[in-house]
Amino acid sequence: MSSSGKSQVTTLKVDVNEKVPLKKAIPLSLQHLFAMFGASVLVPILFNIDPATVLFFNGIGTLLYAFITKRGIPAFLGSSFAYLTPSFVLMNAGYDFQTIQSGFVVSGLAFAAVAIIIGYTGTGWINKIIPPAVMGAIVTIIGLELAPTAADMAGFAVGLSNNPTESNMTWIVISMVTLLTIILSNVLLKGFLKIIPILIGVVVGYITAYFMGEVSFEAVSQAQLFVLPSFKVAKFDMTPILTILPATFVVIAEHIGHLKVTSSIVGRDLAKDPGLHRSLLGDGLSTALSGLFGSVPTTTYGENIGVMALTKVYSVYVVCGAGLISIVLGFSGTLSALIRSIPTPVIGGTSLLLFGMIAASGLRTFIEEKVDFSKSRNLILTSVVFIVGLSRISVNIGQVPLTGMGLATVVGISLSIVFILFDKLGIMNEKE
C-alpha cells in the first residue's frame, strides 16, 4: 500500500479503489458481514431454506457485482425483503420454493433489461424524473421506515413480531450496551480502532448477551465443520413469474436510492462512473443467478452503506472480502452457526445507528444539492414523498402491495413527470 494510502487510513478515509493491508482488511470485512448478517439470514429462515446456501450466493453476487461495476462501487448484495409478500402468497397457494424461484430468475433478468436500456439512453432522464427534492426524501425514508424494525430487534415494544406486547428489558440492556459501545468507540478511540466501531460493538454486545443468558452454543456444537451448499434448480411456471415480477420495480427504486446514498458518502456520482446501468446489471444478474440455483433475490444493503458512512472506509476490496467470507460460511456449518448465534438485540443495537445514518444521508442530499425550498415545486415534491412514504399507505399492483419507499418513489416520479409536462406546455408559473 502506498504511503498516501497509509495516510488515508490514519485519517479515517479509505477510497473506493484503495487496498487495505490484510490484518486490517479482515476485521473491516467482518464488520460488513456482521452488519448484513441478521437481515440477510432472516429471509431464508422465513422461507425455510438453507441459510448457508443464501450466504454462498450473497458472496457470489457481491463478487459478480464488483466485477461488472469494474470494482468502482462498494456494495454488498444481501437477501432482499421486497419479494417476501408475493412469495408468501404463492406458498400459501401451494407452490413449492423451486417453482417460486422461477419468479426470482425472471425478475433478475427484467432488472438486467432495465440496466441495458439505461446503458443506451443514459441517466439524464433519471435525474429529471427523480430530482434532488425527491431523491433526498426517498433516501431519508429508506432509513426511517426501517426504524421500527431496528427498535423491535433492540427489545422495544413497537408491535412487530419479536416483542408484540411489551418491551424486553434484557434485550434493551444488550442493545443499548452495543449501541453505546459503537458510539464511544467511534468518538473516543484513535487510529485503526476508530474505524471498526461496529465490530467492537458486536463483540462487546455478544459478551454482554452471553452473561445475560441470551447466547446458545447448542447449534454450534451440533453443526458440521464442512457442509456443501444446497443447490436446487428453479422450476419455471408462469403464475409465480407474473406474481413476483411487479416486485422488480420496488427493488429498482431501492437500488437507485442506495446508489445515491453511496454516491453522497464517497463524494462522487457513481451513477455516471462506473454507471447506474452497470450497478443495476450486477444486481439483476446476481438475483437471476441466485434464483436459478435455490437462493433468494439480492439487493444492495443499507446496513453496509451505513457501515461505510460511519467508518469512512469505502474500499471495494473490503466489501469483496466480506463477500469471500460469506462464501466460506456457505461451506462451513460451524462458522455459520457461530455467527447465527449472535443474539437479535446485538444486531438491533447496531441497526439503531446504521438505519439512522441512512436517513441522515438523505437529509444531507438536500444540503449538498442545494435544494431551494422557497420554490414551491421542491417543497411540494419533498412534502408529498415524505407523507406517502411514512404514512403506511399501501397500493396493490396485482397481488403485490406497494408501500413505503417503493410507493413514495412511484408518486415522486409521477409528480415530477407532471411538472416536466407543465414546463413543456408553458403553463408553470414558477421556473426552476
φ, ψ of residue 145 to 5 degrees: the values are -70, -15
Residue 428 located in a structural domain = no
Question: How do residues 152-209 score in pLDDT, each as one tens digit?
Answer: 889 987 755 544 456 789 999 999 999 999 999 988 987 667 767 888 898 899 999 9
Residue 377 located in a structural domain = no
Question: How do residues 128-160 score in pLDDT, each as one tens digit?
Answer: 888 889 888 988 887 888 788 888 889 987 755
- With cut-offs at 50, 70 and 90, classify the pLDDT of residue 239: confident
Question: How do residues 357-379 score in pLDDT, each as one tens digit?
Answer: 878 878 888 988 889 999 999 99
User: Residue 320: is its pLDDT beyond 70?
Assistant: yes
Domain holding 222, by residue range, is 14-370
**Spatial separation of the C-alpha atoms in residues 267 and 137, rounded to whole Å:** 19
Residue 76 located in a structural domain = yes
Residue 336 located in a structural domain = yes
Question: How do residues 274-286 score in pLDDT, each as one tens digit?
Answer: 999 999 999 999 9
Residue 394 located in a structural domain = no
Nearest CA to 332 among 220, 187, 211, 429? 220
> What confidence score (pLDDT) does residue 399 get?
59
> What confidence score (pLDDT) does residue 400 get?
59
In the predicted model, what is the mean pLDDT of residues 104-126?
89
User: Residue 390: is its pLDDT beyond 50?
Assistant: yes
User: Residue 3: is its pLDDT beyond 90?
Assistant: no
Higher pLDDT, 214 or 229: 214
Nearest CA to 307 among 203, 200, 215, 204? 200
Nearest CA to 167 among 153, 177, 147, 180? 153
Q: For residues 198 and 307, is the Cβ–Cβ distance under 8 A?
A: yes
Residue 68 located in a structural domain = yes
Residue 292 located in a structural domain = yes
The residue with cell 456520482 is 269
User: Residue 37: is its pLDDT beyond 90?
Assistant: no
**Spatial separation of the C-alpha atoms in residues 416 and 185, rounded to whole Å:** 43
The domain tally of the chain equals 1
Residue 365 located in a structural domain = yes
Question: How do residues 242-272 score in pLDDT, each as one tens digit?
Answer: 888 877 876 887 788 889 889 989 988 998 8
In the predicted model, what is the mean pLDDT of residues 404-432?
82
> What confidence score (pLDDT) does residue 430 get?
65
Higher pLDDT, 303 or 279: 279
**Spatial separation of the C-alpha atoms in residues 76 and 65, rounded to whole Å:** 8
- Mapping DSSP to helix (H, G, I), strand (E, B) and coil, where does residue 94 land? coil
